[in-house]
Amino acid sequence: MSFEQSVRVPLDRVGVVIGKGGSTRKSFEEELGVVLSIDSKSGSVVVKCESIEKGDPMKAVRVVEAIGRGFSPQRAHRLLGEEVAFEVIDLRDFAGKSVNALERIRGRIIGVNGKSRRVIEELTGCYLSVYGRSVAMIGEPTEMRLAMEAVKMLASGSPHRTVYNMLQKARTKRKMERILLWEESSPEKMAEKLKELSG
């Protein structure tokens, strides 16, 4: 079964999809078993695949969308992994039609010298790209929920400190859960559990 889907990419991102001497396009084509037909005048990228059994065109579509939303090809490459999600939040949902409000919200999410975005990335493990009127995210589903919550809180006007505290608490909780899980699965604990059950 063949596949063909068109993705619209902003004109200033077309060169990034192509890469130096076509290197980015070529590497994704080889890795995903697809052909990318790029129209640099319109920004249209057509993802084609002769057989979906032999290639992964849906991942190719997501990678192209991610680069179009401001991610570098290296960061977009993370989408080739299993269990990695890609989400986009439209900031107009928070800013309405006001250009000033949109700029203010973008500024809050990016932070001074990119600090806010960096903190969200560090505490959730997600990649964030604030581009145009949207915030795009790449990450595992559990990380993604936290990052989306943080972005929505900032876009709604929550203080940065409140958002960072929420992320820090969630991170600590996740670490504790991992430790407990690890302890429960250690041989000693397993032996104790078996003893309890058999006793």
Domain final position from 47, 80, 113 = 80
Q: How far apart are CA 34 and CA 58, in angstroms?
A: 10
Residue 107 included in any domain? yes
Q: How far apart are CA 55 and CA 63, in angstroms?
A: 14
Residue 116 included in any domain? yes
Helix (H, G, I), strand (E, B) or coil at 50: coil
Helix (H, G, I), strand (E, B) or coil at 4: strand
Its pTM stands at: 0.84
Q: How far apart are CA 122 and CA 75, in angstroms?
A: 14
pLDDT at position 51 is: 84
Q: Are residues 7 and 76 in the same domain?
A: yes
Q: How far apart are CA 85 and CA 110, in angstroms?
A: 21
CATH of residue 127's domain is 3.30.1370.10
Tell me whether residue 7 is exposed, middle or buried, using C-beta atoms within 10 angstroms of its C-beta: 0 to 12, 13 to 18, 19 or more.
buried
Reading the chain (199 residues) residue by residue, the pLDDT tens digits are: 889 999 999 999 999 999 999 999 999 999 999 999 999 999 999 999 988 888 899 999 999 999 999 999 999 999 999 899 999 999 999 999 899 999 999 999 999 999 999 999 999 999 999 999 999 999 999 889 999 999 999 999 999 999 999 999 998 888 887 777 766 665 666 566 556 656 5
Q: Are residues 72 and 104 in the same domain?
A: no
Residue 69 included in any domain? yes
Q: Are residues 156 and 111 in the same domain?
A: yes
Q: Are residues 106 and 67 in the same domain?
A: no
Q: How many domains does the chain have?
A: 2
Residue 163 included in any domain? yes
Q: Are residues 113 and 71 in the same domain?
A: no
User: What tokens appear for 139 in the block?
Assistant: 């990450």
Helix (H, G, I), strand (E, B) or coil at 36: strand
Residue 21 included in any domain? yes
Residue 181 included in any domain? no
Residue 52 included in any domain? yes
Q: Are residues 7 and 75 in the same domain?
A: yes
Residue 24 included in any domain? yes
Q: How far apart are CA 105 and CA 93, in angstroms?
A: 11
Domain final position from 80, 110, 132 = 80
What is the extent of the structural domain holding 45? 3-80
